[in-house]
Structure 1
């Protein structure tokens, strides 16, 4: 049975890749749109009150159908299916050159350290097009003209500036998922969260892996397919799974995970965490995975 989270069909419209596999009135390639706000919630197509995951600024969402102010489709980065409010999306703009590598950054209306402008926070993973740099490379100039959104309501103009220290070139990838995860220490736990403002256990793993150029699905049960089964002592970068939970191994004695116990991203002693989670009724470790 096809997982609804990945089924690119709402019964009326389906993606062309499903032709001959599902019944639908129309099969379409879909229209690529760009998230036009700092964070947009992906919701269940059958129950819009239910949060699924999140997309961040300039993530691509492929729209298959649009009805009553909501777009049905899938996130290009991982194929996760759901709906997003139409007014949170815009036509694709300029090809991104950089991505936010810090946990958070911000956009301001002038390239000045002591600017009086309102700063608009943006998340790790947000993709930006930097056209020029200012003040010796400290600030990147970002043109937002083709992305009408609430961003414009926070700014005096559509040319904005971002600290270059918070970015990396989009063509470059990180080398250590754990080092990426450690930037999120202290970030609030948020069910279905995928941003530097709040994330859950699988959101943390996905953010770390995608930053390293590694394919990674959105939910913890899906992530159990990553890598291969590992035996023996856990190593840095390994994944430990419980029913409904995942953690990354930070070193031989600690894990790092977004967890509801601390309501944030924390380190935890590995043996203590395994004992605690089993004692609270969530069972033992169900899988230990290792990527090459």
Structure 2
């Protein structure tokens, strides 16, 4: 990672973020326009093509800066983690209301009104930010009302000012979630996405990709002989992979082996992974 990592700084030869003027070469510099993600999940791609791979995702309510819109695509930067990429311009909306709450369960539904028997109007992932304008109760179930008149189960939200106590417990709540390269939502998530979203819900914003996390989260340390110095919450890194220790011996990670967020013993994982990618490359304590 460098100061001009294109994943974290919006610059191309023809266009760049005005904040980078004097630091990078570009034909034109523009100030980003403020916008907000209005879709359940927005895929960020390296190039503006529907067949381009997903680098990461933004969630409903995430604030972004828009530097260019052309041919159905928008070149944006997510304000939460600085990630730059292209999204379909249909996922963008204005910043009209101030978000008040965040989804605090892995997944939840949006209903057209306060009744769980209504056909759903959408779905939201943990980490999605919404504005609650009222409340309602139907047959004993409490709902939070949104500006659109739609409703979300109230107990699936928490005020933005509140944070979780233990990011590992949050990560464990995703057990069984499908693995998705580039995913960072309750509908599909990858290894570093699991770390990022879990830490975000515990009040700590961290960078997105494994190499970024391996260089920036907490402090590096040596776990000692036979990994005996590991404890709950420690991060174990391989080339292109990261796992979260749940105790001294076991870990949780989103992985391509099970294609799920799953629990696995560290020693078993080290043995299984080593023939493809080698052993762990580092350990960090947040």
Task: Determine if the TM-score, normalized by the shorter chain, exceeds 0.5.
Answer: yes
Q: Deviation of residue 70 (structure 1)?
A: 1.0
The answer as to 2:280 corresponding to 1:290 is: no
Aligned 8 A contact 1:71 1:84 in 2: yes
User: Which residue is equivalent to 1:52?
Assistant: 55
User: Which residue is equivalent to 1:231?
Assistant: 222
| Residue pairs, 1:31-42, within 5 angstroms | 31-42=33-44
Whole-angstrom CA distance in 2 between matches of 1:119 and 1:12: 40
User: Which residue is equivalent to 1:243?
Assistant: 239
Aligned 8 A contact 2:112 2:118 in 1: no
The answer as to 2:160 corresponding to 1:170 is: yes
The answer as to 2:204 corresponding to 1:214 is: yes
User: Which residue is equivalent to 1:275?
Assistant: 271
3-state SS in 2 of match to 1:140: strand
3-state SS in 2 of match to 1:130: coil
3-state SS in 2 of match to 1:94: coil
Aligned residues: 275
TM-score, normalised to structure 1, is 0.90
The answer as to 2:134 corresponding to 1:132 is: yes
Whole-angstrom CA distance in 1 between matches of 2:25 and 2:146: 44
Q: Which consecutive unaligned segments of at least 5 residues does structure 1 have?
A: 144-157
* RMSD between aligned residues: 1.5
Q: Deviations over 1:58-94 (max 9, x none)?
A: 1112101122121112111100111111111111121
| Residue pairs, 1:147-226, within 5 angstroms | 158-224=148-214, 225-226=216-217
Q: Deviation of residue 203 (structure 1)?
A: 0.6
Match of 2:254 among 235, 251, 258: 258
3-state SS in 2 of match to 1:159: coil
Q: Deviations over 1:194-251 (max 9, x none)?
A: 1100000011000011111212111111101211012331111110000000000111
Whole-angstrom CA distance in 1 between matches of 2:268 and 2:104: 31
Aligned 8 A contact 2:103 2:125 in 1: yes
**Could you list the runs of 4 or more consecutive aligned residues of structure 1 that deviate by over 6 angstroms after TM superposition?**
none
Whole-angstrom CA distance in 1 between matches of 2:134 and 2:48: 44
Q: Deviation of residue 28 (structure 1)?
A: 2.5
Q: Deviations over 1:2-40 (max 9, x none)?
A: 322112112222112211011223322211111111111
Q: Which consecutive unaligned segments of at least 5 residues does structure 2 have?
A: 224-228
Match of 2:103 among 79, 100, 103: 100
The answer as to 2:124 corresponding to 1:122 is: yes
User: Which residue is equivalent to 1:155?
Assistant: none
User: Which residue is equivalent to 2:226?
Assistant: none
User: Which residue is equivalent to 1:73?
Assistant: 76
Q: 199-208 vs 37-46, which deviates more? A: 37-46
Whole-angstrom CA distance in 2 between matches of 1:7 and 1:77: 13
Q: Deviation of residue 161 (structure 1)?
A: 0.4
TM-score, normalised to structure 2, is 0.92
3-state SS in 1 of match to 2:133: strand
3-state SS in 2 of match to 1:180: helix
Whole-angstrom CA distance in 1 between matches of 2:156 and 2:7: 32
